[in-house]
C-alpha cells in the first residue's frame, strides 16, 4: 500500500512543482475587472505565497530562540572490577548569563518584523504589477480596436479607389497605392493582436494561470487618474514599504549586535550528581561548577562585525530614503506629463485630426482631393488616436509606480 501511494505521489509531483506548488486561481471566463484581477493575484500569486511562508517560518525561529539549553547526563566508571569500581552519575545544566536569551528572542522578533516588511513590499510590487498588466491589456484592446478601425477604413478607401478607376476618374496607380496601404494596415492589425495576446498571458501569469481564460479587461481607459497633492505624497513616503523594510533591517542588525555583545560574558555550567564506590560501599554527592576562561576568545571579532553591519544598515536606510524620494518625484513628473499630453490630445489634436480626415474623405468622394490626401489624413488621425492611448496608458503606469513606492492605492 505504501509503495502504491508513493508511486501516485511521485507521478503527481512534476505537475505540482510546475505550477509552483499552488493551485491556479479560479479565473472568470467573462470580463475581468481590475478589482477581480487584484483579488486573484492576492490569493494565488506564488511570490506572495512564498513571502507568507517565510513569515510563518520566522515564527518558528522566535519560538526556538526562547528555549533554554538542554541539560546533559554523563556516566563515568573507574576500574572494571566489580568490587573496586567507582561509578559517577553527573547531571550538567548550562546557565546563560548576561541576558543572552532575551537578546536572542529580541533578534528573532526583529527578524520577524523584517519578514513582515518584506511581505508588505512584495504586496506593493504585486499590486503594481497587476495594475500595470491590467491596463496593458486594456490599452492593447483599444489598440486592436483602433487597428481594426484602420483596416476597415483602408478597405473602404481601396474599394472606393477601385470604383473611381473603373469610372476613369483616377489612375490605376492610385488603386495600387490603396491596396498597398490596406495591406500595411493588415500587418498593424496582426501586431496588435499579438500584443494583446502577450499582455493577456502576462496578466494571467500573476495568479498562476499559464493560459488566460478571461474574455477581456473590463474598464474605462479613457478616464484619467488623479493624485493627491505633492505634500501629502511626501508625507506618506515615510511609511512606504521600502522605508519600512530598511528600518526593519536596521533594527534587526542592532538586535544581532546586542546578541554578540551578550556572548562576551561566559556562561557557567552547574554539575550535580552522585559517586558510588563499591570498594567503600557508599555513595557521595557530587557538586561542581565550570566556567570558561575568556583569555583569547572574547567574541571581539563578531562584535566588531555586527557593529559595522549596523553602520551599513544605517547608511542603507539613508540611501533608501533619498532613492525613494527621487523615484517618487520622477513618477509624479511622468504622471503630470502624461496627463497633460492626454488632455491636449483629447481636447485638440484628436478632434482636429478627425475633422481633417472627414473633410479629406468628403473631398475625395467629390473628386476635390486625391487619394494621397485621404491616406495622409487617415494616417494622421490614427497616429493621434494611438498617441492618446499611449498617453492614457502612461498616466496609469505612472500612478501604479507611485502606488508601488508608497504601498497603497492612490
Residue-wise pLDDT tens digits, 216-229: 999 888 888 888 88
Q: Has residue 92 got a pLDDT over 60?
A: yes
| End-to-end Cα separation, the chain, in angstroms | 57
Distance CA 125, CA 406 (A): 10
Distance CA 174, CA 369 (A): 12
For range 265-278, the mean pLDDT = 92
The pLDDT of residue 84:
81
For range 329-334, the mean pLDDT = 94
Q: Per this entry, what is the length of the chain?
A: 410
Q: At what angle do helices 350-365 and 371-406 cross, to 10 degrees?
A: 160
pLDDT in tens, 295-305: 999 999 999 99
Give residue 25's pLDDT band: very low, low, confident or very high (50, 70, 90).
low
Contacts of 404 (CB under 8 A, 6+ apart): 124, 125, 127, 128
Classify each residue of 176-201 as buried b or exposed e, where b means 16 or more C-beta atoms within 10 Å of its C-beta.
ebbbebbeebeebbeebeebbeebbe
With H, G, I as helix, E, B as strand and everything else as coil, classify residue 1. Answer: coil
Cell numbers found for residue 182: 490596406
For range 17-27, the mean pLDDT = 50
Whether 182 contacts 151, CB under 8 Å: yes
Give me the percent of the chain exceeding a pLDDT of 90: 60
Q: What are the structural domains of the chain? A: 31-293+312-406 (1.20.1600.10)
Give residue 41's pLDDT band: very low, low, confident or very high (50, 70, 90).
very high
Q: Has residue 325 got a pLDDT over 90?
A: yes
Distance CA 298, CA 264 (A): 5
Q: Has residue 18 got a pLDDT over 80?
A: no
Q: Has residue 13 got a pLDDT over 50?
A: no
Q: Which stretch, 159-163, 254-258, 281-285, has highest mean pLDDT?
A: 254-258
Which residues share a beta bridge with 268?
95
Q: Which stretch, 97-106, 166-175, 184-193, has highest mean pLDDT?
A: 97-106
Residue entry with cell 472627414: 358
Strands annotated E in 154-299: 216-217, 268-277, 282-290
For range 167-181, the mean pLDDT = 67
pLDDT in tens, 365-394: 776 776 667 778 888 888 898 899 999 999
Give residue 12's pLDDT band: very low, low, confident or very high (50, 70, 90).
very low
The pLDDT of residue 199:
94
Amino acid at each position: 500500500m505504501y509503495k502504491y501511494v508513493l508511486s501516485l505521489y511521485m507521478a503527481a509531483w512534476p505537475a505540482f512543482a510546475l505550477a509552483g506548488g499552488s493551485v491556479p486561481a479560479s479565473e472568470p471566463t467573462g470580463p475581468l475587472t481590475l478589482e477581480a484581477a487584484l483579488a486573484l493575484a492576492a490569493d494565488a500569486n506564488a511570490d506572495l505565497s512564498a513571502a507568507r511562508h517565510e513569515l510563518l517560518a520566522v515564527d518558528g525561529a522566535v519560538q526556538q530562540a526562547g528555549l533554554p539549553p538542554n541539560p546533559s547526563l554523563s556516566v563515568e566508571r573507574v576500574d572494571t572490577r566489580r568490587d573496586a569500581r567507582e561509578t559517577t552519575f553527573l547531571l550538567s545544566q548550562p546557565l546563560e548569563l548576561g541576558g543572552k536569551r532575551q537578546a536572542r528572542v529580541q533578534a528573532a522578533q526583529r527578524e520577524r518584523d523584517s519578514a513582515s516588511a518584506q511581505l508588505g513590499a512584495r504586496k506593493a510590487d504585486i499590486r503594481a504589477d497587476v495594475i500595470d498588466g491590467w491596463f496593458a491589456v486594456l490599452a492593447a484592446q483599444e489598440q486592436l480596436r483602433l487597428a481594426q478601425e484602420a483596416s476597415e477604413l483602408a478597405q473602404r478607401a481601396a474599394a472606393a479607389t477601385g470604383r473611381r478607376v473603373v469610372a476613369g476618374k483616377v489612375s490605376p496607380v492610385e488603386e495600387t497605392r490603396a491596396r498597398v496601404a490596406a495591406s500595411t494596415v493588415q500587418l498593424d492589425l496582426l501586431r496588435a493582436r499579438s500584443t494583446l495576446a502577450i499582455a493577456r498571458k502576462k496578466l494571467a501569469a500573476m495568479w498562476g494561470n499559464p493560459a488566460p481564460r478571461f474574455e477581456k479587461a473590463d474598464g474605462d481607459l479613457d478616464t484619467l487618474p488623479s493624485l493627491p497633492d505633492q505634500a501629502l505624497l511626501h508625507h506618506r513616503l515615510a511609511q512606504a514599504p521600502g522605508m519600512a523594510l530598511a528600518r526593519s533591517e536596521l533594527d534587526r542588525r542592532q538586535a544581532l549586535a546586542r546578541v554578540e555583545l551578550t556572548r562576551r560574558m561566559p556562561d557557567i555550567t552547574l554539575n550535580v550528581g552522585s559517586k558510588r564506590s563499591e570498594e567503600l560501599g557508599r555513595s557521595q554527592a557530587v557538586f561542581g561548577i565550570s566556567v570558561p576562561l575568556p583569555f583569547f576568545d572574547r567574541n571581539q571579532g563578531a562584535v566588531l562585525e555586527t557593529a559595522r553591519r549596523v553602520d551599513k544598515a544605517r547608511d542603507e536606510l539613508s540611501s533608501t530614503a533619498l532613492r525613494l524620494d527621487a523615484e517618487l518625484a520622477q513618477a509624479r513628473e511622468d504622471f503630470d506629463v502624461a496627463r497633460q499630453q492626454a488632455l491636449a490630445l483629447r481636447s485638440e489634436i484628436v478632434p482636429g485630426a478627425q475633422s481633417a480626415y472627414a473633410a479629406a474623405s468628403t473631398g475625395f468622394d467629390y473628386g476635390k482631393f486625391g487619394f494621397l490626401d485621404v491616406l495622409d489624413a487617415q494616417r494622421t488621425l490614427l497616429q493621434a488616436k494611438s498617441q492618446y492611448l499611449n498617453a492614457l496608458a502612461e498616466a496609469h503606469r505612472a500612478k501604479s509606480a507611485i502606488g508601488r513606492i508608497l504601498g497603497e492605492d492612490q
